Amino acid sequence: MWFAKSREEVLQELNVNPATGLSAEEAKARLEKHGANKLKGKPKKSLISLFFAQLQDMLIYVLLAAAVITVLIGEYVDAIIILLVVLLNAVIGVFQESKAEKAIEALQKMTAPKTLVRRDGEVREISSEEIVPGDIVIVDAGRYIPADLRLLVTANLQIEESALTGESVPTEKNADDVHEDSHTPIGDQSNMAFMSTLATYGRGEGIVVATAMETEIGKIAQVLDEDIEEMTPLQKRLEELGKTLGFIAIGICALIFIIAFFQKRDLFEIFLTAISLAVAAIPEGLPAIVAIVLALGVTRMSKSNAIVKKLPAVETLGSVNIICSDKTGTLTQNKMTVIKFYTMNNLKSVPTEGTGFTPEPDERELIKSFVLCSDATYENGEGTGDPTEVALVALGEKYNLSRKKLHATYQRVGEKPFDSDRKLMSTLNQVEKGYRVHTKGAIDNILKISKYALVNGAVVPLTEELKANYLRIAEEMSDNALRILGVAYKDVDNLIGPDEMEQDLTVIGLVGMIDPPRLEVKDSIATAKRAGITPVMITGDHKNTAVAIAKELGIASSMEQSITGAEIDELAEEELTKRINNYRVFARVSPEHKVKIVKAYQAQGNIVSMTGDGVNDAPSLKNADIGVAMGITGTDVAKGASDMILTDDNFTTIVHAIEEGRNIYNNIKKSVVFLLSCNLGEVVAVFASVLFFWPVPLLPTQILWINLITDTLPAIALGVDPGDKDVMKKKPRNPKESFFAGGTAWRAVLGGMLIGVVTLAAFYYGLQEFGYQLGSKDIPEDVLTHGRTMAFVVLAVSQLFYSLSMRHSTKSIAQIGLFSNKYLVGAIIIGFILQLAVTSLPFLANAFSLQMLSARDWGLAVMFALLPLVINEIVKSTGRSQEKGSQN
Ligand code: ADP
Ligand code: MG
């Protein structure tokens, strides 16, 4: 019962000094004893179960039935081939799926929460899994509680415990409480914090009393894995398409069967042909291909600092046309430096070099208050904590007002933490007689809660004139892109609570700090605009500061393109929606405004990406089409609510991710069109020959071979095609647009027709070499075999070649480079070798009823096989010249 014990008892029992924490060795020993701090998740799917899952497919049942029938009829070789194909298909499926799963798992690892602990006297961030009992954990707003803690220190700490209690209103915590009653319910244990709950406000420190399955949540929950395996909209649509095409295929096969019946063909043979054709025509591989292309794509994205948490986000990325971005840290470097400060009638520039300057009396008060009201540290040129505060503490160092000394002299006894709604932060510090409140924050808000001003050492009433004076200086500074922070104080006799701090203050003055834009952002903004995407700045900062930086970066061109949170509040929802497309800068906004902004953009039909880092940003991240959380400065809450995390907090990464998203979508399209063309080619060849009373050019096993073996590799290779360098010169894809829009369906049909026709032509040519026609009666078996071998080789090789043409819908092979996708080149070479092997190795050739071809026949086959590719390239080039013509 940790909640019934005093701090000292708990510390003694767990044997740790809270000022230094555990030593590294001790932590290691305890980790060995207690094991990693993680809840047991769902057991992983084994390879065997994945394998059997592959077999549960309508198509496979059909094939297995066909195998049984072939056995009954005594065609053992065919039966074995069918079974082998089923087996191979399942193996390929397992391979794809486990590869996709591994990629997703690796991403999940990257987003696993981290924890601040004190070890060896230092605070450091470690993986939450390494937490052990006795660790001293630092808790602040926005972080998940990594284990069960007995709290040692609390400063307005509030924790949302719905994961455990179902109660979504945060509970206030107090480390000083001790609950004697051993039946105190979890929700009332105010001196405890529990694993998987969430700090929403304030900060604190606690000692770990239980980890992993020993925790309260561990005791009740066995399975907590978040399911991120949801299907993307595209996958769902393709699955539907697959079903439709499946029915059509079955219809065609039934038709073939009926026609053949009346033609008095060998019914058994035509039965197998129909089944094989069904297998060929049903695009059962589509969802698997899409899954692997998505998985490979998100892995690639994670290497360039964008971690996709939800797969559907990849597709949505390609449609984004508004990027709402935080200013500080995303568009700027978040490296703040104070360069100016102002006390009444006294504007000073801070020298860039040197230390040991002596401030005037008013200036001394200004800097002192700023430093005392900051949590950041700055030592030997290194700062930790909020960059805004680092700049203030660094300013103190320059003026002989070091944080260490000040904090030791004027102990902090109370505080009201910063939040982005108030845009203020206050602390209560001990002074010689009584206490002093120090409040810093947005200058407009500081002036609102102040009654007096410090002018030349005297406290005078804050007149409208004085207010206007401060605001004018603030305006001037912010026009030069400086971030402004004001500061005020008041003396009180007694300890007061947070609610009484921010009133009746005395303004001291303000500082202006620079935060240079990120160098690479300007280019990315130009790229985004070229790609039909509007970048928009969202900030809690002053309007003038924001617009100045927005102009510098090319986001906005005039003040009219900006609006403040207060102005948004004045507007009715419809009014905001009507005007929203005119704005580029939203200044002095609070998190709730971000939700309004997202909704207004969406109401105008935009696809919006929105960045966020704080606890209160979760709603806007969830509302946005793509919620983007900051990886470095972001809270666990923001990350949890997001679709994508930027590991470098950089705007440029968002633009890169959109580019990747577009490329991935295009690649999926290439694979799908390729597979459909191939399937259609097979259907055309067989269906036409049945219709015209010709012998069937392909045997069932041959169709299976091509469909399941030769096609797979090029389809995957198309899925990892290197990105098109012009992809960011196009407009975003309309999310409502059909997958087959823009001539995609036509290309699939054209490809299928071409492949089907050359296959038939090769078959005809093969027969003709021995003096027979398609319509001849009683063609000898070996002539048929020769013709079929020609058809078989041409079908496979034309598909391989055709894949090259699929790489771009308008650009020629020469324009994109014949060898620029080395996977595809490899896939084509392997495909060739497979075709050579199956026709040349006697046992394979026999099994598939094929013949060895002469060099001359191979040459001719290659010529035939090149035709679909060549014709498609010609079609593309006429399209290109038309496009050019229409542009002129
Ligand atoms: P952004 O991240 O868009 O710049 P913030 O929410 O961080 O916006 O800041 C908004 C305003 O809040 C700032 O302009 C500043 O006036 C004030 N502010 C920021 N950080 C602090 C802080 N640590 N303490 C007090 N006030 C702050
Ligand atoms: Mg900020």
Enumerate the H helices of 111-181 as residue ranges.
Answer: 162-165
Whether 779 is in a domain gets the answer yes
Residue 461 and residue 409 share a domain: yes
pLDDT at 398: 95
Final residue before a domain boundary, out of 217, 246, 278: 217
Q: Which residues of the chain have pLDDT under 50?
A: 223-228, 888
Counting DSSP H helices and E strands in the chain, the numbers are 32, 26
Nearest CA to ligand 1 atom 13: 541
Q: Which helix (H) or strand (E) holds 397?
A: helix 387-398
Closest ligand 1 atom, CA of 375? 23
Angle formed at CA 227 by CA 221 and CA 232, multiple of 5 degrees: 165
Catalytic residue among 78, 135, 326, 857: 326
Ligand 1 pocket test, pick from 487, 541, 593, 630 with the greatest ligand atom count within 8 Å of Cβ, gives: 541
Residue 729 and residue 679 share a domain: yes
Nearest CA to ligand 1 atom 15: 442
Rounded CA-CA distance 226/882 in Å is 51
Q: What is the 418 CA–ligand 1 centroid distance (Å)?
A: 8
Rounded CA-CA distance 146/198 in Å is 9
CATH of the domain at 146: 2.70.150.10
Whether 403 is in a domain gets the answer yes
Q: What is the 679 CA–ligand 1 centroid distance (Å)?
A: 59
Look-up: residue for tokens 């020959």? 689
Final residue before a domain boundary, out of 462, 495, 514: 514
Rounded CA-CA distance 197/199 in Å is 7
Closest ligand 1 atom, CA of 588? 10
Longest dimension (CA), the chain: 117
Nearest CA to ligand 1 atom 25: 441
Rounded CA-CA distance 637/144 in Å is 8
pLDDT at 401: 95
What's the structural domain count of the chain?
A: 4
Angle formed at CA 191 by CA 186 and CA 196, multiple of 5 degrees: 55
Whether 104 is in a domain gets the answer no
CATH of the domain at 718: 1.20.1110.10
* CA neighbor of 680 nearest in space, from 745, 755, 790: 755
Whether 47 is in a domain gets the answer no
Final residue before a domain boundary, out of 189, 217, 245: 217
Residue 845 and residue 788 share a domain: yes
Ligand nearest to the CA of 538: 1
pLDDT at 458: 96
CATH of the domain at 418: 3.40.1110.10
Closest ligand 1 atom, CA of 389? 23
Long-range contacts of 344-350 (CB under 8 A, 24+ apart): 344/453, 344/454, 344/455, 344/456, 344/466, 344/469, 344/509, 345/455, 345/469, 347/473, 350/395, 350/398
Ligand 1 pocket test, pick from 388, 424, 547, 564 with the greatest ligand atom count within 8 Å of Cβ, gives: 388
| CA 718, chain centre distance (Å) | 22
CB 423 within 8 A of CB 445: yes
Residue 708 and residue 613 share a domain: no
Whether 698 is in a domain gets the answer yes
b/e per residue, 381-405, with b = 16+ CB within 10 A? eebeebbbbbbbbbbbbbbebbbee
Nearest CA to ligand 1 atom 3: 539
Which protein residues have a CB closer than 5 Å to ligand 2 (ion)?
A: 328
Q: What is the 668 CA–ligand 2 centroid distance (Å)?
A: 38
pLDDT at 227: 45
DSSP string, 641-689: H-SEEETT--HHHHHHHHHHHHHHHHHHHHHHHHHHHHHHHHHHHHHHH
CB 533 within 8 A of CB 480: no
Please return the burial class of 48, using the count of CB atoms within 10 Å of its CB with bins 0-12, 13-18 and 19+: exposed
> Which residues are near ligand 1 (CB < 6 Å)?
326-328, 386, 388-389, 418, 420, 423-425, 440-442, 483, 485, 539-542
DSSP letter (8 states) at residue 564: E
pLDDT at 223: 44
Ligand nearest to the CA of 418: 1
Closest ligand 1 atom, CA of 538? 3
Residues 6+ apart with CB under 8 A from 599: 573, 577, 623
Nearest CA to ligand 1 atom 5: 540
Residue 683 and residue 621 share a domain: no
DSSP string, 460-525: EE--HHHHHHHHHHHHHHHHTT-EEEEEEEEEESS---GGGTSSSEEEEEEEEEE-PBPTTHHHHH
Residue 493 and residue 557 share a domain: no
Per the annotation, the verdict on 326 as an active-site residue is yes
Nearest CA to ligand 1 atom 16: 442
Nearest CA to ligand 1 atom 8: 540
Whether 100 is in a domain gets the answer no
Residues 6+ apart with CB under 8 A from 809: 742, 743, 744, 747, 876
Rounded CA-CA distance 694/220 in Å is 69
Residue 695 and residue 615 share a domain: no
Rounded CA-CA distance 99/298 in Å is 12
Rounded CA-CA distance 531/429 in Å is 53
Residue 296 and residue 387 share a domain: no
CB 23 within 8 A of CB 119: yes
DSSP string, 28-87: HHHHHHH--S----PPPPPHHHHHHHHH-SHHHHHHHHHHHHHHHHT-HHHHHHHHHHHH
Residue 246 and residue 166 share a domain: no
CATH of the domain at 551: 3.40.50.1000
What is the identity of the amino acid at 350? V
Residue 432 and residue 412 share a domain: yes
Q: What is the 426 CA–ligand 1 centroid distance (Å)?
A: 13
Paired with 513 in beta bridges are 338, 483
Closest ligand 1 atom, CA of 539? 3
Whether 81 is in a domain gets the answer no
Q: What is the 189 CA–ligand 2 centroid distance (Å)?
A: 33
Range of the domain at 421: 337-514
Residue 423 and residue 498 share a domain: yes
Residue 713 and residue 624 share a domain: no
Whether 476 is in a domain gets the answer yes
